[in-house]
Every structure is written in structure tokens, then in C-alpha cells.
Structure 1
Amino acid sequence: MRLFAAVLPPQVVIDELAAETADLRRLPGAERLRWTGHAGWHFTLAFYGEVADGLLPELHARLARAAHRHRPFPLRISGGGRFDHKVLWAGAAGGLEPMRHLADAAGAAARRAGVDMDEHRPYTPHLTLARARGGEARLDLVPFVDALAAYGSAEWTVSDLALVRSNLPASGVPGEQPRYETVATWPLGR
């Protein structure tokens, strides 16, 4: 099972961001991007990759403990950025320090449960909006990042840690999106 730990924004915030991305999709070059589906918008805390079924009970137990040790925190989607010329993302504001701690705990929980994790990278809270299409010439994402600079969603309280399954496209149809399925959630601080 391909899994990751995440913070899931509430639907009202997703709807606000959808309106913002509708404007972004009118910018020159937007047709050269593969835009992510609203149903998949999330803040990844820790990516686990393929996790053997036998490790799931221990992973669940450790994620539950990690969630219990962290208090709810405020968050909003704010601004944006890019990774090279390949990925356009929306950023976060508010409880960034508690979010980083939760991300660290989600990674540590998986390692202790026996999940083979890639190298540890500094955590950059982001919600992926679009990716450059494969084979496309380099696209300047700066105008998109500039358009997001003043964006800020409504604030919400992050009260759960989610374990999400990523189902990769299997049809081979160009542009097909992964499907995300929430496997489990644990309340923070309880």
C-alpha cells in the first residue's frame, strides 16, 4: 500500500483555493501545466511509499501516539512557491512550527514501525497545485508564484493527523490523476 501522513484542509478552504486556481489557470502558459485535482489537495507530513501490510498495525499505533502528543494548531493556506520549474505549490501560514513537529513525529513513527523511509529532508509545508507536463520545455513558474503571493485562505484548526493511501493511475490515460483515500485519522492532543 502506498501511504503518506497528511493534514487535510476542510472543504470550505478547498473551495476558496479552487476559486484562486481558476484565476491561475487563465495565466499564459497554464495549459502547459498538469493541474492537480481538488480531491487530492493536502499537506503531506511524511511520505512512506510502499508499506507492507504487516507493518500497518504498528504504524497505526505509533501515529496514534504521535497525534496524541501534539495539540491542535491554527493553519491557513498562504502564498505559494515552486520547486525548480517543475512544481507549483500553495504555502501555509499560522502554526508552522507545530506542523513541522507533527511532520517530524509522523516520520519518526514510521521509522520506528519499520517503514523504510528515504533520506530525511527539511520539511517544506506545501500543497501541490500543478506539475510541468512530461517532455515540456522549461516553463517559468514565477508569474504563477507572484499571482499567489497575496493569497490567504480562511484559517482553520488542524485537529487530526491523517494516514492517506495514494492509488496511482492504472489506466495509462494521459492526465489521469492519482486517487487518494483516507485510511485512518487520529485526533490531535486527545
Structure 2
Amino acid sequence: MTGTALLVMDVQEAIVARYPDPDYLPRLRGVIDTARGGGVPIIYVMVGFRPGAPEVSARNKVFGEAARRMVGQLNEIHPDVAPQPGDIVVTKRRVSAFTGSDLEVVLRSLEIDHVVLSGIATSGVVLSTLRQAADLDYRLTVLADCCLDNDPEVHRVLLEKVFPRQATVTTSDLFLKGAADSGGHG
């Protein structure tokens, strides 16, 4: 495997609305545009369920009853960062981008060995995906300012203490500078 892909995770309108940060979407849009312009595949990951959410057990504390209530509210990726022709959209059924999706098949098919993570929430999809991707031997980069969490302390601890054990943690500016310096390929 020889490539890099940008994962844009759980940036759906209903989720973005719960994490108010007016600078988030423009910053993420800049990363997406630069990556796309440099030939880096953009893979959008969204959470989704069938009508009635039959894939969610009532015993699941994260989704459980909330998933059944949210089925009608889960909607498309926020229009400010919407996929463009050629981008890939993957639907997951749990917190990790890998669980219940074909993400690993897509990454292998594209010969991706370096995954750049962004999304909402740091303590949810980003953490779960990072852990699973590390176990699958992907090289990992987390764009700290392209991740959001409702708990600033949890966000800080994950980015400063937990994630660096398995990933390079950087900012969008430094990532974009590196992409420019390497001709678009991180």
C-alpha cells in the first residue's frame, strides 16, 4: 500500500448542529479542497441505519434507543463540505468508521496505507477509528483542529496524550503545508 486518504467522518448536518464552532467547516473545507486538488482520495464516512434501525441492539449504550429516534434526523453530509464527483461515501453502523462498513475494502482497493482523520466527535468516531486503524497497521495522522468534541478536556487529553501513541497529531495548517511541500501527497 502506498497512498494517503483523507477521512471526513460524521460531518452530517444533524451532528454538526450539536457542535457549534463557526470556524470548523471553513477550516475542514480548506483541507478537503487542498487534498482533493493534490489527488488525495476523500472518503466521507457517515453513520446511517435502515428504517427502524434493526442493526442496533437496545443493549448498545451509544446508539440503543437514541439511534431509533435519530433515524429520521440523520441526513446528508453538511452542504458546506459536501462530497464532489469522485469522492467516496461510506456508511457505517457503529462508532468506528470500519464497523458495519466497507471502508477497509475501499482502502485496500485504493492501496492506501496512510489515513488522515478528521471528524465529529473526537471521543467518538475519531477515537474508535484511530484505534481500529492502528490495529490494522495503517499509518495515521489526526488533524487536531478538524476534530470537535463537546468536552474540551476530553478533546485535549485525547489529542495530547492518547492519540500520539498511535498517530501523528498535527493541525490543518501544518498538514496543508506538508501537502504543498510534497506536491500534494502526504
Tell me, yes or no, whether TM beats 0.5: no
* Structure with greater helix share of residues: 2
TM bucket by the smaller chain? under 0.3
Q: TM-score if structure 1 supplies the norm length? A: 0.26
So what's the TM-score if we normalise by structure 2?
0.26
Report 1 or 2 for greater relative contact order, CA contacts < 8 Å, sequence distance ≥ 6: 1
The structure number with the bigger radius of gyration is 1
